[in-house]
Chains A and B, each alone.
Chain A
Amino acid sequence: MFTAQNLLSVGVAALLTAGLYAVMSYGLAIIYGVMKVINLSNAGFLMLGAFMTLVYFQAWHLDPLAGAFVNLPVFFVAGWLVYRGLVRRVMTSLPLASLLMLFALWLVLQNLALAIWGADDQSIITAYTYKALSVFGFRIPVTRLLVFGVALLVLGILHYVLGHTYVGKALRATVQDPQASLLVGIDTDRISAVAFGLGTAFAGFAGSLLTLLFSFTPDFGGAFQLKSFTIIVLGGLENFAGVTVGAAILAFVESFAVLFMKASLQNVIAYALLVIVLIVMPGGVAQLWSRNRS
């Protein structure tokens, strides 16, 4: 069972999963970073992203990958509107009010989807869904490779935007210190709207990618959402680079744990990690190396 071949193939699978995990968690991290709001509606937008992809596919035979890019602007606008209409109005009260507001939004999205599309499993089958490539003797499904490639591409673009454009720099400044950002003339309210749009766009995008790998229902999203929380908590909450680290850790732990335990218990790992890391290591993995440095 524990041959080098086996371990290596699990490692490759984990790496591919990590790319997907990173994409679906970045939105959450951006919104949390800028507003310190935990976006419970992320799951709703993830699910909606999947269903929109289905709609594009059925109406125009649009490939899910193309659908993912169509989703970006659509969900950006949706996120912007949600921020303007709902989140901003409760930002001044307790952090809990925004959490509950986004929880209510999730409930609305989920049940709206249930009313429109019903509770049946939906799936999108493309020409390449069941194809696999042989790379160095491993058979890897094409869909997984595609998702990983697109995830890397989008994360690269995000990295560039955050590092080299005005909006990106302003966004990171707001994450670090909202008050100081206001002082140097950054419109933090606007940046918050951008962040919410961006975060929602990422959720819609990730939802499209998920349709390549899984079937989906309106309830879909909740499990991924909790994994995303685990990832950003592992990554240290306000640390964008940490998201990638957190995604990799979760993907590897999950993939290798399956060698030791029942596969149906796999999700428990993420939930247990979430609780343990929140309590023991609130700074996430980043805490470890910063502690060593100081």
Chain B
Amino acid sequence: MRPLRPASLAAPVLGILLALVPLVAGRNITLLNLGFFTFLYVAQGLAWNILGGYAGYVSFGYAAFFGLGAYTTALLWLAGWPPVLTYPVAGLVAAAFSLVVGGPTLRLVGPYFSIATIGVGEAMRILMLNLDRITGGASGLNLPTTVPSKTWFYYAALVFAALAFGVAAWVRGSRFGLGLAALRMDQEAAESLGVRTAVFKNLAHVTSAVLVGACGGLYATYLQYVHPDTVFSFTESISLVLIALIGGLGTLWGPILGAGVFYAVQDYLQTSYPTFHLLAYGVLLIFILLFEPKGLAGLVGRAWRRTRGGAPPPRAAAGAGVEMAGPGRPGAGGPA
């Protein structure tokens, strides 16, 4: 048992505070909606970060998991299942798919993996659009109209986010997380020290796919409608990448900050300038890559240290950011 630090109390306290919100402002539908989406994307950002941040395999194809989860829930719900029971199944379907795809693609070196995932994600979208017998094709699927209240969705998403946080925190501190960090820094060195890199990478992929798939299921119940172009969209994939990167790649709190900013900015800009939020994130991302590779979490950490009067920076933890990622290998050959 490691000593309890104030930082490890922050998450439960934040969770309890957020859980109290509907009791105070239960009639404010806008606030509950904002909460729902933010938590849904906190959960997915945290899940994405397990592979993208901890292991350094940046995937642009997570919409495939989200979409599969959404459609699993949709089809089972239409078949008469209660939605809540479909979420684990949605997660499992996404996990199965992640194994099929991850087996071969995770053998590719970093950037090539990223490119391949764009291909996989887009191929899935087009395939689903064409499987109109199952997915409803370009007209989508209408789902039952009997749904729980907004408050229920708020709590459900909060539970998902808490679950994802728990998983991410556990992975980060475990031998598994250390193995992922090692293989991110240098795959060959990690292997030579006995890290089973192939197993670890796939395990990270599956873990995050389960969470994202379940989130897709929750999303489908919330919207009561699924369409291949929305749940399998490239925008869905890059939202997760942006949330994790802006928040802080490989940090525990990064996706939480990232999703919070993502939805606050989107909500603020969407009414007056519907297209500007992605522009804003693009610019933000450029600045982050140039000046603070650990994102908002890195900025907050820096400010925190400054207010505490130049205390020494905390020991580098398992999931550090890009600049910690070991010797760059310029011209590191073709795909492995």
Q: Is the CB of A112 within 8 A of B279?
A: yes
* A35 CB → nearest B CB, Å: 9
Q: Is B281 an interface residue (CB 8 A)?
A: yes
Q: Is B80 an interface residue (CB 8 A)?
A: no
Q: Is the CB of A222 within 8 A of B234?
A: yes
Pick out which of these stretches binds chain B: A64-72, A121-129, A250-258, A263-271.
A263-271
Interchain pairs with CB closer than 8 A, number:
146
Per-residue CB proximity of B115-147 to A under 8 Å, as 1/0? 110111011001101100000000000000000
Contact for A272 among B118, B123, B334, CB less than 8 A:
B123
Q: Is B15 an interface residue (CB 8 A)?
A: no
Hey, which bits of chain B sit against chain A, CB under 8 A?
A: 56, 58, 104-105, 107-108, 110-112, 114-116, 118-120, 122-123, 126-127, 129-130, 234, 238, 241, 245, 273, 275-276, 278-279, 281-283, 285-286, 289-290, 293, 322-323, 325, 328-332, 334-336
Pick out which of these stretches binds chain B: A13-21, A161-169, A276-284.
A276-284
Q: Is A50 an interface residue (CB 8 A)?
A: no
Given the complex of chains A and B, what is the CA–CA distance between A111 and B119 in angstroms? 22
Contact for A111 among B108, B278, B289, CB less than 8 A:
B278
Contact for B325 among A86, A94, A265, A270, CB less than 8 A:
A94
Q: Is the CB of A101 within 8 A of B286?
A: yes
Hey, which bits of chain A sit against chain B, CB under 8 A?
A: 36, 38, 86, 89-97, 99-101, 103-108, 110-112, 114-115, 119, 178, 222-223, 226, 229-230, 237-238, 262, 264-265, 267-268, 270-272, 274-275, 278-279, 282-283
With known contacts A105-B286, A264-B126, A267-B126, A278–B278 Cβ distance under 8 A: no
Additional A-B contacts beyond A101-B286, A111-B276 (19; CB < 8 A): A36-B331, A93-B325, A96-B325, A97-B293, A100-B289, A103-B238, A103-B285, A104-B286, A106-B282, A108-B282, A115-B279, A119-B275, A229-B115, A229-B119, A230-B119, A271-B126, A278-B116, A279-B116, A282-B335
Given the complex of chains A and B, what is the CA–CA distance between A268 and B148 in angstroms? 38
Contact for A275 among B105, B241, B282, B286, CB less than 8 A:
B105
Given the complex of chains A and B, what is the CA–CA distance between A57 and B58 in angstroms? 40
Contact for A95 among B110, B120, B286, CB less than 8 A:
B110
Given the complex of chains A and B, what is the CA–CA distance between A94 and B126 in angstroms? 32
* A121 CB → nearest B CB, Å: 16
With known contacts A89-B290, A93-B328, A96-B56, A271–B322 Cβ distance under 8 A: no
Could you name 21 residue pairs across A and B whose Cβ atoms are closer than 8 Å?
A38-B115, A89-B290, A93-B322, A94-B56, A96-B56, A96-B58, A96-B110, A97-B293, A105-B286, A107-B278, A108-B283, A110-B278, A111-B278, A111-B282, A112-B279, A114-B275, A229-B118, A265-B126, A268-B127, A275-B119, A275-B120
